[in-house]
């Protein structure tokens, strides 16, 4: 059996919708910092098919814009849960893990969300200045995560 990929990083968001661009923007910025063998997945939204991107990995990181944050970013571990939409589009990271567990018949790899504070989602608008400043704050934290891609280490850094 081939050795597991150490990490998959999802950058989720629509670059044509203001602050929703934060996930893909941060993902591109971090690509040079990724550990050898890491897998990168960038998409507008999560879908049930993304469960297959978890196959053969040891750790998963979902990066996305997040509404309602007081701080520039939040970082926490997630577990399988939620029900995928009947239409199979725009599901949560927890639902992606749930689909993986159902399809594979086993627990998904440890997974974490790095949510970046977002407020504006207007079509055709660039990210706000505040969102870009928050992305800068999150970038240093994310590089620290990628330097030690291990669930045990990441759990010590989690906060909401």
Q: What is the pLDDT of residue 88?
A: 47
Reference 155, options 94, 78, 96; nearest CA is 78
Give pLDDT, residue 82. 74
Structure tokens at 124: 């055709």
pLDDT score at 84: 59
For 56, the 3-state DSSP assignment is coil
Q: Give tens-digit pLDDT for 113-146.
A: 999 999 999 999 999 999 999 999 999 999 999 9
Each residue's pLDDT tens digit, 45-60: 999 999 999 999 999 9
User: Residues 67-90: what's their mean pLDDT?
Assistant: 81
% pLDDT > 90, the chain: 88
Report all structural domains of the chain as residue ranges with CATH numbers, in order of start.
47-146+151-160 (3.40.50.1450)
**Residue 83: what pLDDT?**
64
Write out the H or E segment, with its range, that includes residue 160.
none
Quick: pLDDT tens for 80-126: 997 655 554 579 999 999 999 999 999 999 999 999 999 999 999 99
Looking at residue 90, what is its pLDDT? 76
H-helix or E-strand spanning residue 88: none
Measure the CA–CA gap between 143 and 33, rounded to whole angstroms: 6
Kind of pairing, strands 73-78 and 8-12?
unpaired
């Amino acid at each position: 059996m081939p050795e597991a990929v150490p990490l998959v990083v999802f950058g989720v968001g629509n670059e044509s919708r203001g602050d929703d661009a934060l996930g893909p923007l941060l993902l591109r910025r971090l690509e040079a910092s990724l550990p050898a063998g890491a897998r990168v997945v960038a998409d507008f939204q999560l879908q049930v098919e993304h469960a297959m991107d978890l196959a053969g990995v040891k750790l998963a990181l979902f990066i996305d814009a997040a509404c309602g944050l007081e701080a520039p970013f939040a970082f926490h571990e997630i577990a399988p849960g939620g029900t995928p939409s009947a239409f199979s589009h725009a599901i949560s990271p927890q639902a992606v893990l749930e689909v993986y567990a159902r399809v594979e018949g086993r627990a998904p790899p440890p997974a974490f969300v790095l949510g970046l504070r977002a407020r504006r989602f207007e079509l055709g608008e660039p990210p706000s200045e505040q969102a870009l400043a928050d992305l800068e704050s999150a970038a240093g934290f994310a590089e620290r995560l990628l330097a030690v891609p291990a669930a045990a280490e990441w759990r010590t850094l989690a906060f909401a």
